[in-house]
Amino acid sequence: MGTSPDPPASADQLAAELFGAMAYGELSAFGRLSFDSRYAPTLHDRSVLAKIAVGAYGNFALLSDRLSEMGIDPEEAMLPFQRSFDHFHERTKPGDWLESVMKAYVIDTVSSDFYRAVAGFLDAGTQQFVERVASPDQATEVLRVLLRRALADDPRLASRLALWGRRLVGEALTQAQRVGMEHPRVGPTLKNGGDARAAVRKLTGELAERHARRMTELGLTA
Amino acid sequence: MGTSPDPPASADQLAAELFGAMAYGELSAFGRLSFDSRYAPTLHDRSVLAKIAVGAYGNFALLSDRLSEMGIDPEEAMLPFQRSFDHFHERTKPGDWLESVMKAYVIDTVSSDFYRAVAGFLDAGTQQFVERVASPDQATEVLRVLLRRALADDPRLASRLALWGRRLVGEALTQAQRVGMEHPRVGPTLKNGGDARAAVRKLTGELAERHARRMTELGLTA
For residues B165 and B210, is the Cβ–Cβ distance under 8 A? no
Q: How far apart are CA B78 and CA B98, in angstroms?
A: 30
Counted across chains A and B, CB pairs separated by less than 8 A come out at: 71
B43 touching A (Cβ < 8 Å): yes
A54 touching B (Cβ < 8 Å): yes
Question: Which sign does the torsion angle of CA B118, B120, B121, B127 carry?
Answer: positive
Q: Among partner residues A31, A37, A47, which is closest to B38 by beta-carbon distance?
A: A31
DSSP state of B135: P
Q: Which residue has the higher pLDDT, B185 or A209?
A: A209
A78 touching B (Cβ < 8 Å): yes
In chain A, domain spans = 11-217
Q: Which CATH architecture has domain B11-217?
A: Up-down Bundle (1.20)
Q: Please report how the helices A97-119 and A138-153 are oriented relative to each other, as an axis angle in degrees rounded to 10.
A: 140
* Cα angle value B169/B90/A98 (rounded, 5°): 135
For residues A40 and A97, is the Cβ–Cβ distance under 8 A? yes
Across the range A195-214, mean pLDDT stands at 85
How many CA atoms, within 13 angstroms, populate the side-chain half-sphere of residue B122? Answer: 22
Q: In this complex, do A44 and B74 lie within 8 Å of one another by their Cβ atoms?
A: yes
Residues of chain B with C-beta less than 8 angstroms from the C-beta of A82:
43
Task: Say what the pLDDT of residue A190 is.
Answer: 55
Q: In this complex, do A75 and B44 lie within 8 Å of one another by their Cβ atoms?
A: yes
B44 touching A (Cβ < 8 Å): yes
Q: In this complex, do A31 and B31 lie within 8 Å of one another by their Cβ atoms?
A: no
* B141-185 per-position pLDDT tens digit: 899 999 999 999 998 999 999 999 999 999 998 887 887 777 756
Is residue A187's pLDDT more than 60? Answer: no
For residues B77 and B66, is the Cβ–Cβ distance under 8 A? no
**pTM for the predicted model, two decimal places:** 0.86
Residues of chain B with C-beta less than 8 angstroms from the C-beta of A44:
74-75
Q: How far apart are CA B108 and CA B174, in angstroms?
A: 17
Q: Among partner residues B24, B50, B74, which is closest to A57 by beta-carbon distance?
A: B50
* B30-48 per-position pLDDT tens digit: 999 998 988 899 999 999 9
Q: Which long-range contacts (CB under 8 A, 24 or more apart) does B1-4 make?
A: B3/B195, B3/B196, B4/B188, B4/B191, B4/B196
* A22-68 per-position pLDDT tens digit: 999 999 999 999 989 888 999 999 999 999 999 999 999 999 999 99
Backbone φ and ψ of B94, nearest 5°:
-65, 145
For residues B44 and B97, is the Cβ–Cβ distance under 8 A? no
Candidates B149, B167, B166, B145; CA nearest to B157 is B149
